[in-house]
């Protein structure tokens, strides 16, 4: 598969100067047209960039870590390889200061996605308090279950018989899907926080593993999980948050929820 015009899956030249035209846009509508999206729908795609540099006004390199928050209400997402190429295009270009770079990135990404994108750049010399940690919640990966499905199986999802109403957070590190263009594996951890009838944890784990051969972008996978759990288990509140393993200096961490409250700031060991 090749998305016409996208740099993903083909060899491209390393950019030598700042170029916002490198950002490749993908409409969200096509994927969402096959989902039964509930009215309760909030979220964002949180990107962290660890290979970020530019030149100061005198030509000296500056290095930083970037955080980019794209609202799920945006009509478009940005393809990951094009995002990396765009960020790399700053490395040989002079800018007055970090604020100028941050403002420029926010403008370009907001135009590309069709919604305001929040950009935070943190120089490496500043203290970064976001240490590696496991996702907070009850990890269900040690459940002794037999797996038969490695393609999406939302029919596996169910609540416990006569389930009591609970509020809990369940976590799995066994999430895997595949890039729809290159076929490369996308590894991740997923957090499901909900209030509602108690979900059958074994069934939930089987469902997470069933995405193992699924081919879809990170953002689309999270939206699919959210919609599948919402319709199968009918919680009063739900949030699905995935932290994907870093690739090419970027990690992607989408979340979708029934409420405006997002996930805690998390950085897993694979990021």
Total residue count of the chain as it appears in this document? 271
**240, two tokens:** 């699905």
Tokens 């015009």, residue located: 5
Please name the residues in contact with 208: beta carbons below 8 A apart, sequence gap of 6 or more. Answer: 172, 174, 175, 190, 225
Residues 121, 119: Cα–Cα separation, whole Å = 7
Is 19 among the catalytic positions? no
Ligand-binding annotation for 148, yes or no, is no
Ligand-binding annotation for 81, yes or no, is yes
Angle of the 201-209 helix axis to the 218-233 helix axis, nearest 10? 150
Ligand-binding annotation for 248, yes or no, is yes
Residues 185, 221: Cα–Cα separation, whole Å = 13
**216, two tokens:** 């879809």
Ligand-binding annotation for 247, yes or no, is yes
Is 72 among the catalytic positions? no
Ligand-binding annotation for 117, yes or no, is no
Ligand-binding annotation for 107, yes or no, is no
Q: Choosing from 159, 179, 233, 243, which is the catalytic residue?
A: 179
Q: Choosing from 186, 200, 228, 251, which is the catalytic residue?
A: 186
Binding-site annotation, residues for NADPH:
80-81, 247-248
Binding-site annotation, residues for substrate:
78-80, 218-219
Residues labelled catalytic: 179, 186
Binding-site annotation, residues:
78-81, 218-219, 247-248
């Amino acid at each position: 598969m090749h998305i016409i015009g996208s740099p993903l899956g083909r060899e491209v030249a390393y950019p030598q100067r700042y170029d916002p035209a490198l950002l490749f846009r993908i409409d969200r509508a096509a994927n969402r047209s096959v989902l039964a999206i509930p009215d309760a729908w909030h979220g964002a795609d949180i990107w962290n960039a660890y290979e970020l540099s530019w030149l100061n006004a005198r030509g000296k390199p500056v290095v930083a870590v970037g955080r980019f928050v794209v609202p799920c209400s945006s009509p478009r997402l940005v393809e990951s390889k094009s995002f990396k190429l765009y960020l790399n295009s700053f490395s040989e270009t002079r800018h007055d200061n970090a604020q100028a770079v941050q403002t420029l990135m926010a403008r370009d990404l907001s135009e590309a996605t069709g919604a305001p994108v929040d950009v935070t750049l943190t120089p490496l010399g500043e203290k970064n308090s976001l240490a590696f940690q496991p996702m907070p919640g009850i990890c269900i990966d040690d459940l002794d279950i037999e797996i038969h499905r490695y393609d999406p199986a939302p029919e596996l999802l169910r609540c416990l018989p006569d389930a009591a109403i609970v509020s809990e957070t369940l976590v799995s590190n066994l999430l895997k899907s595949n890039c729809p263009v290159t076929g490369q594996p996308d590894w991740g951890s997923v957090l499901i926080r909900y209030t509602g009838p108690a979900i059958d944890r074994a069934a939930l784990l089987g469902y997470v593993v069933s995405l193992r051969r699924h081919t879809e972008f990170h953002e689309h996978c999270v939206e699919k999980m959210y919609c599948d759990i919402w319709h199968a288990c009918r919680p009063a509140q739900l949030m699905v948050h995935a932290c994907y393993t870093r690739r090419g200096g970027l990690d992607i961490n989408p979340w979708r929820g029934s409420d405006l409250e997002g996930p805690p700031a998390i950085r897993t060991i694979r990021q």
